[in-house]
């Protein structure tokens, strides 16, 4: 009797769990789906609430307007270059820093971590940072987008926690007995076992660099070097300006505003698709790395 009750309670839990996860998936996925169908629907149909589940008055004018701009192709290439290079540099700095501060033998370890944590709450501000970038000759270069924010302290803390809790100290001791140097131990033992946390760092930094447009707006003056997000922003601003100028024409503003809204939704999709494609390739490592240190044992 008790066993039957236990089985029925387990089934009830499974049903509730599946229902909860299904609702959660809908909550997360529907906004993406809504933006997708809105990008191929008449904007006035969208505002009227007629595209809740399916597109209405399908049109691809927004995508045609976006992709006919030469800046989009350049922006894609620039963003890919900035993202790949920035991710490589940032992850290399984060992993090496996290490994170093995880070692109890590091001199002034606590003081170094306090220094890092302070930078999470206090910064020099935009103008001093701009002056530093300008005086070091980094303006209008790829390094102005990578070096100022190359090391995220939160990511360093996560990496340090992983090295402290997920790799047994006995492995390091055994390597030392075998005559391995500190550098050799890092490359032969720590780094191969750090693939899960590296995948997490890759996701975090890749998304950050891909979506970053404000840094390029501040430090980039050459439009040919604009990343995709900034190029899309420029296209949207131009479209809005055109709609404003056509406001005094009979019916001109309505049509121009319609195109502007289509471009806005299409830009969101164009900017988000590459990250949605890249995520599944590192997803299998994401959960293990993100939960590093949550359960110690």
- Looking at residue 17, what is its pLDDT? 87
CA 262 centroid distance within chain = 24
- Looking at residue 254, what is its pLDDT? 65
- Looking at residue 267, what is its pLDDT? 83
**CA nearest neighbour of 129 among 144, 112, 140, 151:** 144
As a whole number of angstroms, the distance between CA 288 and CA 266 comes to 34
Q: Which residues of the chain have pLDDT under 70?
A: 1-8, 240-256, 282-297
Q: Token pair for residue 69? A: 């701009």
- Looking at residue 293, what is its pLDDT? 45
- Looking at residue 224, what is its pLDDT? 85
- Looking at residue 85, what is its pLDDT? 93
Asked if 146 and 216 touch (Cβ cutoff 8 Å), the reply is: no
- Looking at residue 291, what is its pLDDT? 58
- Looking at residue 285, what is its pLDDT? 63
- Looking at residue 182, what is its pLDDT? 82
H-assigned helices in the chain: 2-38, 43-47, 61-67, 70-101, 109-121, 126-135, 143-146, 153-166, 169-177, 182-185, 191-193, 195-211, 214-219, 228-245, 252-290
Kind and range of the H or E run holding 247: none
């Amino acid at each position: 009797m008790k066993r039957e009750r236990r089985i029925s309670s387990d089934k009830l839990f499974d049903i509730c769990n599946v229902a909860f996860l299904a609702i959660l998936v809908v909550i997360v996925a529907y906004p993406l789906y809504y933006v997708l169908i809105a990008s191929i629907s008449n904007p006035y149909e969208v505002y009227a609430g007629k595209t809740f589940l399916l597109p209405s008055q399908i049109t691809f004018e927004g995508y045609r307007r976006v992709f006919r701009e030469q800046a989009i192709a350049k922006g894609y290439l620039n963003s890919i270059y900035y993202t790949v290079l920035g991710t490589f540099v940032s992850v290399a700095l984060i992993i090496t820093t996290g490994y170093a501060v995880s070692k109890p033998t590091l001199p002034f370890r606590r003081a170094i971590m306090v220094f890092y944590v302070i930078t999470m709450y206090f910064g020099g501000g935009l103008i001093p940072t701009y002056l530093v970038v300008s005086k070091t000759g980094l303006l209008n270069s790829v390094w102005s987008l990578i070096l100022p924010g190359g090391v995220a302290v939160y990511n360093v803390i996560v990496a340090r926690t992983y090295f402290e809790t997920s790799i047994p100290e006995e492995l390091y001791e055994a390597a030392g007995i075998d005559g391995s140097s500190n550098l050799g131990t890092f490359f032969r033992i720590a780094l191969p076992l750090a693939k899960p946390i590296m995948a997490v760092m890759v996701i975090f930094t890749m998304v950050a660099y891909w979506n970053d447009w404000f840094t390029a707006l501040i430090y980039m003056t050459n439009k040919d070097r604009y990343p995709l997000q900034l190029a899309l922003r420029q296209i949207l601003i131009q479209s809005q300006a055109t709609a404003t100028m056509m406001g005094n024409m009979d019916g001109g503003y309505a049509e121009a505003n319609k195109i502007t809204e289509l471009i806005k939704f299409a830009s969101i999709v164009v900017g988000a698709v590459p990250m949605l494609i890249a995520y599944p390739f590192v997803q299998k490592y994401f959960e293990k790395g993100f939960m590093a240190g949550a359960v110690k044992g």
